[in-house]
Amino acid sequence: MLTEEIKHEIEAEAERFERKQAACIEALRIVQMHRRWVDDESVRDIASVLDMSPDEVDSVATFYNLIYRHPVGRHVIRVCASVSCWLLGYERLLDHLIQRLGIAVGETTADGRFTLLLNQCLGACDHAPALMIDQDQYQDLDVANVEAVLEHYQ
């Protein structure tokens, strides 16, 4: 169930639009900000607040790769797997992260610290390989320098 705080935040966002359904993405973002991911119950609750069907809310949630419909760790690593990063060796970087974290792509470390995902181009092609951790972007990465990046996130 949505807390009163979350519900009020969503309602306040919905008031900014002529049709409250237009606040759907923002509602999903609000829930995720509070809970790190959006579960089925939250989808139903958002639908109720915004006068939408749960399927409509879920279709928005699953369209955007930054909305997580499964539990994620405290920090989400999104490794760019598009062409420039591929040309400059993102696969070596990804293999290192898989070994280092002991998880496959799509999984979360046992301590809940990291979730590892792939992403399409992050807009840093001239500084590939690149990845994002939460809202932070890192560029010109390799096996040697990625460790120092991970240390920023506990």
How far apart CA 9 and CA 6 sit, in angstroms, is: 5
**Structure tokens, 99:** 């070994």
Residue 130 C-beta: closest distance to ligand FES, Å: 4
Residue 85 C-beta: closest distance to ligand FES, Å: 3
- Give the helix/strand (H/E) hosting 36: none
Residue 139 CB neighbour total at 10 angstroms: 15
By beta-carbon proximity to ligand FES, the closer residue of 48 and 84 is 84
Residue 105 C-beta: closest distance to ligand FES, Å: 16
Binding residues for ligand FES (CB under 6 A): 80, 82-85, 121-125, 128, 130
By beta-carbon proximity to ligand FES, the closer residue of 44 and 127 is 127
3-state helix/strand/coil string of 51-113: CCCHHHHHHHHHHCCCCCCCCCCCEEEEEECCHHHHHCCHHHHHHHHHHHHCCCCCCECCCCC
Residue 91 C-beta: closest distance to ligand FES, Å: 12
By beta-carbon proximity to ligand FES, the closer residue of 30 and 130 is 130
- Give the helix/strand (H/E) hosting 151: none
By beta-carbon proximity to ligand FES, the closer residue of 38 and 128 is 128
